[in-house]
Chains A and B, each alone.
Chain A
Amino acid sequence: MHEIRIAEDLAAIVLETAFREGLSEVTSVNVSFGQLVQIVPDIFKFAFGEAVRGTIAANAAVAIEILPVKLKCSDCGSESELAGNLFACQKCSSTDLEILQGREVFIKTIEGE
């Protein structure tokens, strides 16, 4: 249920931005979550709806993009996408890896008028 807290923090950012930009209504909110964050989109949308109830973002559509886990090998430098939960380089099998993508909790844009 970390969706609730993330939705609340997102609502604060969306509303703050909307007021600063002088929007009277927020129509859409576009976010990205890394696969490792294990967000359940329906729960997140519900939680966000609750967080913005009665505000200018109450009817905003939430678009969620889930980002796959990308790894970079610290030994051979090759990049690969996580497959089958195996955190090892697909080229040289090294387990010394950097997680390039997959942990994001990110707001990209909002739209409104």
Chain B
Amino acid sequence: MEIKIMKNILDRNQNRANEVRSLMTEKNVTMVNIISSPGAGKTTLLERTLEELGDRFRIGVIEGDITTDRDAQRLKRFDIPIVMINTEGGCHLDSHSISKVLDLFELDNLDFLFVENVGNLICPSQFDLGETFKLAVVSTTEGDDKPAKYPMLFREAKAVLLNKIDLMPYTNFNIENFRSDLGKINAGVPLFETSFTRGDGLKDWFGWISRQVSGSL
């Protein structure tokens, strides 16, 4: 016999993500789901952002890490709430893992909750965490074909950071190809061309992210 089921396989994740999103809206917290390959600069982005904006906004961080606490250790010097989620080999965070740790934050006293997802371009894009928006980070050393290869992330991202532009002369990265592919997938998406070590593009990034605080949206 045939039995019709006709439902989203990821229902459980989606339902919990919807609950998280409602809670964030209620508490006026902007939750940013940061997605990139390993080594693109997610943790460094958080360091630079906390250095610049840590005094102006109340920021919390969830660090998703496969197996170590190294990223969380790097952020310890900032006086902010940080919670680490070890995925024990899992290649992405999900809404249940986020929901479980939200009690550890005083959400009434937060403007931003940055979630550093596990380094991976496909899997994290498929699991809604309940975030306010996704942020894609990519670096020139990965090659200029990432938007074309991973359209879902670049389509859904509210902004894209292209990092390590200082290294571009040492790679075959073609920035025109990158911009053109990104434009096809997500026309008009804000693109920040940055070097987190040299400082390029950071001023624009700080300005943009500051405007994403809840209430100013």
Contacts and interface: CB of A to CB of B under 8 A. Distances in A.
B1 A13 contact: no
B151 A17 contact: no
A9 B14 CA distance: 12
A13 B187 contact: no
Contacts of A108: 4-6
Contact of A6 (B10, B147, B148): B10
A105 B127 CA distance: 11
Contact of B94 (A5, A10, A85): A5
Contacts of B7: 13, 106-107
Nearest to A86: B184
Interface of B is mostly: mixed
A110 B3 contact: yes
A88 B3 contact: no
Contact of A37 (B11, B94, B152): B152
Contact of A9 (B4, B9, B181, B184): B9
Nearest to A113: B1
A32 B13 CA distance: 18
A107 B9 contact: yes
A61 interface: no
A21 interface: yes
Contacts of A9: 9-13
The 4 closest A-B pairs by CB, nearest first: A95-B187, A2-B123, A36-B152, A86-B184
Given A5-B92, A9-B13, A107-B7, 4 more contacts: A13-B7, A95-B187, A107-B5, A112-B3
